[in-house]
Structure 1
């Protein structure tokens, strides 16, 4: 009988992990899968590229601006409710994105459906890490967190590749339709595997509406500015206004949240230096990952002369290495510890970025793939235990909040990294080009050595920041909040699910 109960619990553990992994993969995938289809969408709706870019920008803006809000909502009404509702909204939004825009011949319908999809994605992303922390026993959390964070990072990396395949061989609509069967499967799995859990006891404090507005305006304005800054120009009045709005909203948010009885984001947690170090380590890692993942296809195609399909194949070295080490780190967390894995991963990432500095037109495909594999292996080794450390330091009544914070530290820095790295590359290339008197040439005529020098400058900067990640990993410590010392009994937690 006990063995039967144990097998049933193990089955639920597995299904819960699968449900969470699907959630993180799909929400991350949809942040990048649409980019490669934008030229096709532009042609279909006869719109300029600047207008069509809102298909990608809208998703990132709404997703990042809403995650922290839904994390707090989940702490009050229950993780299962928000997670399943989020998948329902996300799945419906995905279907609407693929079907209704052409049916109504309206680009505005696509943007509206994209907003709906992002709201569902925010609900999912806000809760996924918290589900691991709340409903899995301590001995399984490391492995589960490895699965969750690995699939999240892999979704980001796989987006452009999968988007290209679907757009080329089916149609652009399928970059959204692909979510529908996955969403339905995740809802069915989650309904069975996720316990009902606990909700807030007693009379909760009034919901922090002002904090929610400040978070959405601040993060949304920041994401808009960094996403559109390169296209519109950083001195464009719209971009300057967005940056000013972001600075004012986020600055006032910090002051407001410290005076609120039940804040959406408890900044006092950052008073723990270890909590601060680990969160910075994760944010900087995603920052570099986003920027490099965006820039590498340009290097492979412009400097190496690879065609898009070959470039995509080379980039899979990073993705597959990340997945392999992500699973490995999950299995090793309990025996080696979070901190040691973070240090090992940070060193591997830094070594890989150092190898980037020696990229040139003569670099072999094996050397490039090896460097990408080193970065991917290090990221997979580090992100899972880093996420686990943050969740372990959070009290139980803050699990939803911290879970959403981790998701913001993934989506926000990736977007910032893309903008910053691309801006750094362009400025470095133009500076070198100006010095060598080639700025009068068309972009196609810029000498390859000038282009390579621009990449070299970026790769040096990336390596320098990666050293800061190593230092933060070394400074970090494994801490477990008293609330998390006792393992949850799955069967008891699942009663009434």
Structure 2
């Protein structure tokens, strides 16, 4: 496709950014939107809480297990085919989740539909950053990545709020119905604006063994972590799952280092900057997942806010994240990714330090300011870190590395929540006795116990934030020769 004018090209880049943003927003949204509707679904199907939780768990397990596979496939057969096929599957899966379970009166159908939906979600999420790198000129990459990564983070953050509104005022089915019109629009838009390209890597035998190992390993690990608290960390099921994860993931590493065309090129991690920026990305979402999980409990059980008031207060974090994401995208090409990451790391440390100051009598104003600082720092960090990762490797690895950044968003959702929960419970068990809480009046014991748990969990997040800041300071911004000025073929790809 040839460019006809600068204005039409700019319009094409904007439409492409919107198309990718819709994809990552909806896929991320569905990772968290269901949680708040689980009690209602449990009542409808007369299920226990542990059984109904599979509606949420299975989506994240399949998503995390599939993203690397589809990232590699995208390098082999082209981004447009994977993206459009993924969105069609995601949309059909959403429609199936909304209609078939009630029609067939089967909870198993709902879980199966979520698997189908997650496969589509993995396809569109895996290649979103790669599409920015491949189709957007270097001068506009920062802005585009800012919008897209903000959409991804925002979808994760506001999922429970949207889910609560739809479930309360309509029904839990609308959590899935809402995806259908958006999916249709995104498919039509994507078909028009996404350039058709051939494979970026030379076709070879697909690494089926690696795909099986990474899927089984990640699924086993995330299952063990997500179900460990309810089933017991020493239960045979959890221990077996952890053993399976260690064996399969360990063998995956050995296998990938030997195979000619690996699913994940582990040798890329020999580059210290690539390793550090990926660690930054993973730790940011790891800490964010835990805080996002604990904050509603703090606001409702310690501060005594209602569900709706808590949701309203938490929107400060989402709003700040969205604003900072756009700002970081605009500043990326002017300031550079490393400086933005350092600035975001400093704010992140400040935000998590403020979290450690939250108490029973903390004012609503201070809580809101804390959330604003935290949300702004998270939004400021995600865009430059993503750009630094994507721009540091050659074009033949675009899909692979793009799927890696997606994995670094979704896997920490489960791992971060489990870690935060463990630290929270440990805080209650270990700190409470040292503070003489058991000597307090009975009415105060429960409140003080919970506050002790939050104190330790928030302090753990502060430690993680310090590590992120250190990594940001040590990292350097590198641009692969494929994207250097004068050697960037992005601008040669016409978009109508």
Q: Distance in 2 between matches of 1:3 and 1:167?
A: 46
Match of 1:271 in 2: 270
Once the two structures are superposed, the pairs formed by residues 378-389 of structure 1 within 5 Å of their partners are: 378-389=377-388
**Aligned CA-pair RMSD:** 1.9
Deviates more, 1:400-409 or 1:228-237: 228-237
Q: Cα distance, 1:344 vs. partner?
A: 0.4
The C-alpha deviation readout for 1:283-320, integer Å capped at 9, x for no partner, is: 00100000000000000011100001011011111100
- Residues 303 and 452, structure 1, Cα contact 8 Å, conserved in 2: yes
Give the corresponding residue for 1:368.
Answer: 367
Matches within 5 A, 1:28-177: 28-177=28-177
Name 1:13's counterpart in structure 2: 13
Query: Relative to structure 1, is the Cα distance of residues 293 and 436 closer, same or farther in structure 2, using a 3 angstrom cutoff?
Result: same
Q: What is the deviation of 1:434?
A: 5.4
The normalised TM-score by structure 2 is 0.96
Note if 1:244 corresponds to 2:243. yes
Structure 2: segments with no counterpart, 5+ residues: none
Shift of 1:361: 1.3
Moved over 2 A (4+): 430-441, 443-447, 486-490, 492-495
1:470 paired to 2:475: no
Is residue 2:219 matched to residue 1:213? Answer: no
Matches within 5 A, 1:348-363: 348-363=347-362
The whole-number CA distance in structure 1 between the counterparts of 2:278 and 2:376 is: 20
- How many corresponding residue pairs? 492
TM-score by length of 1: 0.96
Q: Tell me the SS of whatever aligns to 1:344.
A: helix
Q: CA deviation at 1:394?
A: 1.3
Does the CA contact (< 8 Å) of 2:432 and 2:452 recur in 1?
A: no
Q: Which deviates the most, 255-264 or 424-433?
A: 424-433
Cα distance change of structure 1 residues 439 and 109 upon mapping to structure 2, 3 Å threshold:
farther
Extract unaligned runs of 5+ from structure 1: none
Q: Distance in 2 between matches of 1:439 and 1:111?
A: 44
CA contact (8 A) 1:196 1:494 kept: no
Q: Is the 8 A contact 2:3 2:494 kept in 1?
A: no
Cα distance in 2 between the residues matched to 1:408 and 1:141? 21
What's the secondary structure of 1:148's corresponding residue?
Answer: helix
Aligned to 1:311: 310
Decide which moves more: 117-126 or 2-11.
Answer: 2-11
Cα deviation, residue 423, structure 1 = 1.3
2:287–2:461 CA contact under 8 A, matched in 1: yes
- Assess if the C-alpha contact under 8 Å between 1:278 and 1:472 holds in 2: yes
The answer (yes or no) to whether the contact 1:282–1:386 under 8 Å persists in 2 is: yes
- Secondary structure of 2:127 counterpart: helix
1:196 and 1:493 in contact (8 A); partners too: no
Deviates more, 1:481-490 or 1:223-232: 481-490
- Checking the alignment, whether the CA contact within 8 Å between 1:430 and 1:439 is kept in structure 2 is no
Displacement, 1:4?
A: 5.2
Please give the alpha-carbon distance, in whole angstroms, between the structure 1 residues aligned to 2:494 and 2:115: 33
Spell out, residue by residue over 1:98-138, the C-alpha distance to the aligned partner (whole angstroms, 9 max, x if none).
11000110000001100000000000111111000000100
Q: Deviations over 1:375-424 (max 9, x none)?
A: 11011111100000000011101000000000000101121001110111
1:288-327 residue pairs with structure 2 within 5 A?
A: 288-327=287-326
Distance 1:435 1:186 in 2: 56
CA distance in 2, matches of 1:440, 1:430: 15
Deviation of 1:54 (Å):
0.4
CA distance in 2, matches of 1:198, 1:131: 13
Deviation at 1:459, TM superposition (A): 1.1
Mapped to 2, the partners of 1:199 and 1:418 lie a distance apart of: 38
Q: CA deviation at 1:362?
A: 1.0
Deviation (angstroms), 1:11: 1.1
Deviation at 1:260, TM superposition (A): 0.9
What secondary structure sits across from 1:447 in the alignment? Answer: helix
1:438 shift after superposition: 7.6
Q: CA 1:95 to 1:445, structure 2 compared with 1: closer, same or farther past 3 Å?
A: farther
State the distance in 2 between where 1:209 and 1:33 align: 32
Residues 172 and 156 (structure 1 numbering): CA distance in 2 closer, same or farther, change over 3 Å? same
SS across alignment from 2:159: helix
